[in-house]
């Protein structure tokens, strides 16, 4: 689509706007819309992880929002360098923070286990779950995003000579199939992080389809396909709901419609969005630590209406502080 500014996302997980070639830029208003979604998605993840909070299954749409943005931007941007350069960039943005926060959460978990004498917790730190995801389950997302990014990089090269419309239709079909498989719950009995990985699978082809919509030269035609993706996913979710399988895919349906609408109808940015959006990655990474501390404060446990905004605010403040230190590369 038509380039309007010289800034775009480095397609890390939740990272802030970076300078990239103008040929793959989105409009400033579109970037602002994605920033808004990232802020809402970070709040949704905190909401989902808050015990006894209502509508947690809806708030969990934050995770597929992050994945859809990540996949769509990687697809629309492409990569002009070598595969080694691409993987190195992803290593610095995804796996280095994963290793750092795995060490932080691992030390916290070790200290707690030693303090309480919990031998089971110590043994679990050497489990397959810890090795694949990290000592805190929410960290599964970072190595997963690294692998997804490598797959999309390969797909971009394999499909570079194929019309955008063909790639969109093929990936949209694959996404609907994966959503139907997810709705059956066949993976839920497996050990973590396999259910989490399976949850994110549908976002890969759907995100690629959305990204290819952004690459269509005609903006109106791209919008038409974006609306089509949103309608197809919404219809599938409705059908699955009617046969009693709707709840597992509800987050994906909400996320797909939000992301497609954000790309279709941009709204200009403001100072608040510009200031808060770079903190989304840090909020995601830090919020379990913040929630653990706040859980010991009676006032914070009185209501989720207090716990959620307080957790988000403290985590955002911590991320802001870390971004002003040499540790900024990890948030």
Integer CA distances (angstroms), 227 to 3, 231, 233, in order? 21, 6, 10
- Asked, for residue 112, whether it belongs to a domain, the answer is no
Spatial neighbors of 60 by CB under 8 A, at least 6 apart, are 44, 45, 48, 251
Task: Report helix, strand or coil for 19.
Answer: strand
- The stretch 237-247 carries a mean pLDDT of 94
At residue 29, the pLDDT reads 65
At residue 20, the pLDDT reads 36
Place of tokens 């629309």: 76
**Predicted structure pTM score:** 0.90
Q: What are residue 291's DSSP bridge partners?
A: none
DSSP 209: H
- Asked, for residue 191, whether it belongs to a domain, the answer is no
- 253-292 confidence digits (pLDDT tens): 999 999 999 999 888 878 899 999 999 999 999 999 999 9
User: Domain residues for 292?
Assistant: 7-96+140-179+198-238+250-330
Average pLDDT of every residue of the chain: 89
- The stretch 52-71 carries a mean pLDDT of 96
- Asked, for residue 108, whether it belongs to a domain, the answer is no
Please state the domain count of the chain.
1
- Asked, for residue 118, whether it belongs to a domain, the answer is no
- The stretch 196-208 carries a mean pLDDT of 97
Is the pLDDT reported for residue 121 higher than 60? yes
- The stretch 190-217 carries a mean pLDDT of 95
- Asked, for residue 114, whether it belongs to a domain, the answer is no
CB 165 within 8 A of CB 225: yes
- 68-91 confidence digits (pLDDT tens): 999 999 999 877 789 999 999 999
φ, ψ (nearest 5 deg) of residue 272: -65, -45
- Asked, for residue 117, whether it belongs to a domain, the answer is no
Is the pLDDT reported for residue 17 higher than 50? no
Task: Report helix, strand or coil for 9.
Answer: strand
- Asked, for residue 127, whether it belongs to a domain, the answer is no
Assigned token pair, 15: 């990272």
Is the pLDDT reported for residue 302 higher than 80? no
At residue 27, the pLDDT reads 63
- Which band of pLDDT confidence, cut at 50, 70 and 90, is reported for residue 23? very low
- Asked, for residue 305, whether it belongs to a domain, the answer is yes
Q: How far apart are CA 327 and CA 331, in angstroms?
A: 7
φ, ψ (nearest 5 deg) of residue 211: -60, -40
- 231-241 confidence digits (pLDDT tens): 999 999 999 99
Q: What burial letters (b/e) apply to 150-186, b meaning 16+ CB within 10 Å?
A: eebbebbeebeeeebeebbbbbbebbbebbeebbeee
H or E element at residue 70:
helix 62-77
- 133-177 confidence digits (pLDDT tens): 999 999 999 999 999 999 999 999 999 999 999 999 999 999 999
By percentage, how much of the chain surpasses pLDDT 90?
Answer: 72
Is the pLDDT reported for residue 28 higher than 50? yes
- Which band of pLDDT confidence, cut at 50, 70 and 90, is reported for residue 14? low
- Which band of pLDDT confidence, cut at 50, 70 and 90, is reported for residue 118? confident
């Amino acid at each position: 689509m038509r380039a309007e500014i010289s800034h775009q996302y480095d397609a890390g997980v939740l990272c802030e706007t970076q300078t990239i070639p103008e040929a793959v830029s989105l409009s400033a208003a579109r970037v602002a819309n994605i920033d808004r979604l990232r802020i809402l998605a970070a709040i949704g993840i905190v909401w989902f992880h808050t015990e006894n909070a209502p509508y947690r299954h809806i708030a969990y749409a934050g995770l597929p929002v992050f994945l859809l943005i990540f996949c769509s931007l990687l697809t629309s941007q492409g990569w002009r360098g070598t595969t080694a350069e691409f993987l190195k960039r992803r290593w610095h943005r995804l796996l280095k923070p994963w290793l750092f926060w795995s060490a932080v959460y691992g030390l916290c978990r070790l200290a707690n286990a030693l303090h309480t004498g919990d031998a089971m917790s110590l043994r679990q730190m050497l489990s397959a779950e810890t090795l694949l995801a990290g000592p805190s389950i929410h960290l599964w997302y970072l190595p997963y995003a690294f692998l997804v990014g490598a797959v999309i990089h390969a797909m971009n090269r394999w499909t570079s000579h194929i019309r955008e419309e063909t790639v969109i239709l093929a990936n949209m079909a694959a996404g609907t199939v994966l959503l139907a498989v997810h709705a059956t719950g066949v993976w839920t009995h497996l050990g973590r992080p396999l259910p989490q990985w399976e949850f994110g699978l549908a976002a890969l082809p759907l995100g690629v389809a959305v990204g290819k919509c952004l690459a269509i030269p005609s903006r109106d035609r791209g919008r038409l396909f974006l609306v089509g993706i949103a309608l197809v996913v919404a219809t599938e979710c409705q059908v699955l709901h009617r046969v009693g399988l709707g709840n597992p895919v509800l987050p994906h349906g909400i996320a797909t419609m939000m992301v497609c609408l954000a790309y279709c109808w941009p709204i200009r940015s403001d100072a608040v969005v510009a200031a808060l959006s770079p903190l989304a990655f840090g909020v995601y990474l830090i919020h379990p630590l913040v929630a653990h501390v706040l859980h010991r404060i009676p006032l914070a446990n009185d209501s989720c209406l207090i716990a959620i905004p307080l957790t988000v605010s403290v985590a955002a403040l911590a991320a802001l502080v870390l971004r002003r230190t040499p540790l900024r590369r990890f948030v």
